[in-house]
Amino acid sequence: MTARLQTTLRGPEAYALARTVLDQMEAVGVWPTPLNFELWVHAAGEPEGLLAKEIQRLVATSEPFSEATAEMLAAEFLPRGRLTEEIRDAGRVLDRELSSVSHAIAKAHETQTAYGQTLDQAATSMQAVEDDHGFQTIVSGLSSATRHVRAENETLEKKLEVSTREVLRLREHLELVRREAMTDALTNLANRKAFDEQLARACETAQSDGRALTLAVLDIDHFKRFNDTWGHQTGDQVLRYVGSVLGRLASHPRFAARYGGEEFAVIFPHESVGLVESALEAMRSEIASRALRRRSTNDDLGAVTLSAGFAVRRPDETAADLLERADEALYAAKRAGRNRTACAERLTKAA
């Protein structure tokens, strides 16, 4: 959340802003779910921002604002802010731990220096000692100084232990937050941000090792019909189902992601065209093989079919160009009647 928005939501005008946002949502028929409200508040905080523009665009299409759409927007526009906040918090904890440890180290250093001086003084005093009593006094002074140093070291050790634990906890928490920010909440697949990063990395690797890299884009056929006929909750279940099959059949080193509303993408490193094609066919036929049922009424939802397009990366090709060719292949599959796979290379040859 931007600093400006945080101030607004905590200032005297916060309730007025919340009411305005709710009115705006009601006017365009959007349910006031916590996520929708969060998105709308963000958009209101930055009316010229990308999120506000995207919301305006979606509202203008008059399509219902589904849970899936809200989650896509949240994945794209909200986590970065959340992540920044978490990182800021983590920074504060690290600061606190570091200053506590450095304070303890400075104190231990002072004690060690004082101990060194005590030893020096004891050595000098020893030369001048005349009787047992004087000797005992020196020894007892040394023993007390040693106890003090030991206690100081124990304190330092404990502080280091606590700090190490705290830093480890923080690392695990940040890893969790990072994973959440990269995951599509509905399908549990990687989200678009994670996909973009992975594709860029895969292109770099393919450029340096010269091995094959193929990108496929898959889209559920007539998805709007599912939503219109059975409602968005069922539409979301269909997305979850497709996500679960893709996640299973595109396990590492393949990489599956939810790319947009009903669009998915799979990165295939080091695989021949034949292997990629048969993997895509396996995904499509497994998805189509199940007769889904609407949970609330047990109605038969029919089969879910997918269209897919894929492209093999050319030398020096950028991630954006590869994606564009895979997308073109997907549209060719759609144009050819859907429920099929098209290969960009074959389209080029045919042309």
Chain positions contacting ligand C2E, by CB under 6 A: 234, 237, 240-241, 244, 292-295
Cβ closest to ligand C2E, residue 77 vs residue 223: 223
Q: Give whichever of 185 and 273 is closer to ligand C2E, judged by the CB atom.
A: 185
Q: Are 268 and 202 in contact (CB under 8 A)?
A: no
- Among positive and negative, which fits the CA dihedral 182, 237, 244, 54? negative
Least distance (Å) between residue 1 CB and ligand C2E = 30
Q: CB of 292: closest distance to ligand C2E in angstroms?
A: 4
Is beta strand 255-260 parallel, antiparallel or unpaired with respect to 263-269?
antiparallel
Nearer to ligand C2E, 230 or 268 (CB): 230
User: Minimal distance in Å, beta carbon 160 to ligand C2E?
Assistant: 44
What 3-state DSSP class applies to 308? strand
Minimum CB distance to ligand C2E smaller for 161 or for 286: 286
| Minimum gap (Å) between residue 66 Cβ and ligand C2E | 15
DSSP label at residue 183: B
Q: By C-beta, is 66 or 234 nearer to ligand C2E? A: 234
Half-sphere exposure of 201 (CA within 13 A, CB side): 10
In the complex, minimum distance from the CB of residue 58 to ligand C2E, in angstroms, rounded to a whole number = 24
The two beta strands, 341-343 and 306-312, are parallel
Between CA 311 and CA 50 the distance in angstroms is 30
Count H helices, E strands: the chain? 13, 7
Cα-based angle 313, 263, 76 (whole degrees, multiple of 5) = 95
SS3 content of the chain, % helix, strand, coil (to 5): 70, 10, 20
- What backbone torsions phi and psi does residue 312 show, to the nearest 5 degrees? -95, 130
Q: Which is nearer to ligand C2E, 141 or 261 (CB)?
A: 261
Q: How far apart are CA 334 and CA 193, in angstroms?
A: 25
Nearer to ligand C2E, 169 or 290 (CB): 290
Q: Is 237 helix (H, G, I), strand (E, B) or coil?
A: helix
| Closest CB 35 distance from ligand C2E, rounded Å | 18
Least distance to ligand C2E, CB of residue 187, Å = 9
Residue whose entry in the numeric block shows the structure tokens 């939810």: 258
The kind and range of the H/E element at 345 are helix 344-350
Strand order of the β-sheet with 255-260 is 255-260, 263-269, 213-220, 306-312, 341-343
- CB 303 → ligand C2E: shortest distance, Å? 11
211 or 295, CB closer to ligand C2E? 295
**81 vs 231, beta carbon nearer ligand C2E:** 231
Q: How far is the CB of 189 from ligand C2E (least distance, A)?
A: 12
Q: Is the peptide bond before 253 cis (omega within 30 degrees of 0)?
A: yes
